[in-house]
Amino acid sequence: MDRRVLSKIFLLSVFELFLLSGCVVFKPMEFREKDKFEKEWYAIHLFAPWHNEMPMFKRVISEKLAPMGINVIIIEVNYKYAYELHPELREPGNSLTKADVKELVELCRENNIKLIPLFNCLGHQSWATNTFPLLVKYPEMDETPNVPKDNKDIYCRSWCLLHPKTNEIVFALLNELIDAFQPDAFHVGMDEVFLIASEQCSRCKGKDPAELFAKAVNDYHKFLVDGKKLTMLMWGDRLIDRKQFDYGNDYDCSANGTAPAIDLIPKDIIICDWHYDKRTEYPSLRYFQDKGFRAMPATWRGLEATKSFIKYANKTRTKKLVGYLFTTWVGAQDMCSALLEEGDQSKLPEEAVQSTKALNEGMKMLKAKNKS
């Protein structure tokens, strides 16, 4: 027999012995997941379901989202989880359990979907007259403690990022979510933060909003990226200066002094650049990429706006564009009903039906782009 053939047989035999002995650990799933997540992201943002909504939510993943090509789900959990270390911070209701999350994680893995938890940090600590658990249980952490309990004349409350207990408690919550989801990425929210450097806060009063905002981003980055080795995502609106990119309102872009924070935070954060109105240009998307950030355009329910933003993203893209994100902003049960086209569609919130249509048409555009 040829010596070269004998050598190959010998080497293969040695390799097999190493495998059997446990000296070599071969994990093919890691390689498959790595390759899978190097693909362009087709992402959807969904509110987490309640425990009793899990069956329908799981059906949406396996029957609708996976078949249409969604490969990333950003699931906004916030206080809708059965936290163990701080049970007082569970949102009233039938919260998601660790077992529920395990089911979602396994289902997403089976369907080659990356599951990313989202916890809204800093802002969005209330909605309308409802204040969320952190500031109800720990009112001393409120950035604007003098605002009436019905939240009159404000958009959303913020927590005080300089309060000595804030990060301690928040990081404990994030840690539980990380333990449950076992993710490789985490979304910290941080959109529409209007209450920062408030005159009502003795710790933040008089400070630079951009420096405060950057401190919050850097704190979360240190915990998630440096400490947990995760990729960090956040919304981008507070980093867009309205004087430079005027989107016509103070929601899509910042007019409260936070925008200079863009030069004070790490560039390995993925920025989700959301805009929901139809325009011919969305210059902030390229701006983030030119600044060195990876970015995704985020659309909502407007069909023509969704098409316009996707076209602009494709036209101006760089290697920093990681994919596309469709948002929904409707409760899980209503959104699931719309996606599955079950029940009386006329009784659903119009946002659910419109978001579903925008998602369907947007994904068709993206698939057509890939074929061309």
Q: What is the mean pLDDT of the chain?
A: 91
Q: Which residue has the higher pLDDT, 369 or 313?
A: 313
* Cα–Cα distance list, 44 to 47, 117, 362 (Å): 10, 12, 11
Contact 60, 340 (CB under 8 A): yes
Q: Which of 120, 76, 23, 2 is nearest to 332 (CA)?
A: 76
- Measured in residues, the chain has a length of 372
Residue 309: per-residue pLDDT: 98
Average pLDDT over residues 191-202: 98
Summarised one tens digit per residue, pLDDT across range 287-309 is 999 999 999 999 999 999 999 99
Q: Which of 328, 327, 242, 325 is nearest to 287 (CA)?
A: 242
pLDDT more than 70, % of the chain: 90
Residue 31: per-residue pLDDT: 29
- Tokens representing 129? 């007259």
- Distance, in Å, from the CA atom of 39 to the CA atom of 51, rounded to the nearest integer, reads 31
Residue 33: per-residue pLDDT: 38
Checking if the pLDDT of 155 tops 70, the result is yes
Summarised one tens digit per residue, pLDDT across range 198-240 is 999 999 999 999 999 999 999 999 999 999 999 999 999 999 9
Residue 370: per-residue pLDDT: 78
* Cα–Cα distance list, 362 to 41, 310, 326, 357 (Å): 13, 8, 8, 8
- C-alpha 121: how far from its chain's center? 11
Domains along the chain with CATH numbers: 43-371 (3.20.20.80)
Residue 125: per-residue pLDDT: 98
DSSP 241: B
Summarised one tens digit per residue, pLDDT across range 79-130 is 999 999 999 999 998 999 999 999 999 999 999 999 999 999 999 999 999 9
DSSP 223: I
Average pLDDT over residues 255-263: 98
* Cα–Cα distance list, 40 to 123, 243, 271, 319 (Å): 29, 32, 15, 11
- Distance, in Å, from the CA atom of 326 to the CA atom of 133, rounded to the nearest integer, reads 28
- Distance, in Å, from the CA atom of 268 to the CA atom of 246, rounded to the nearest integer, reads 26
Residue 298: per-residue pLDDT: 98
Average pLDDT over residues 42-60: 98
- Tokens representing 267? 């560039």
Grouping H, G, I as helix, E, B as strand and the rest as coil, residue 225 is: helix
Q: Which residue has the higher pLDDT, 368 or 185?
A: 185
Q: Which of 299, 348, 344 is nearest to 45 (CA)?
A: 299
Contact 49, 96 (CB under 8 A): yes
Residue 38: per-residue pLDDT: 61
DSSP 96: B
Contact 279, 251 (CB under 8 A): no
Checking if the pLDDT of 36 tops 60, the result is no
- Which residue type occupies 50? W
Least confident among 13-27, 282-296, 315-329, 335-349? 13-27
- Give the count of beta carbons closer than 10 Å to the beta carbon of residue 263: 11
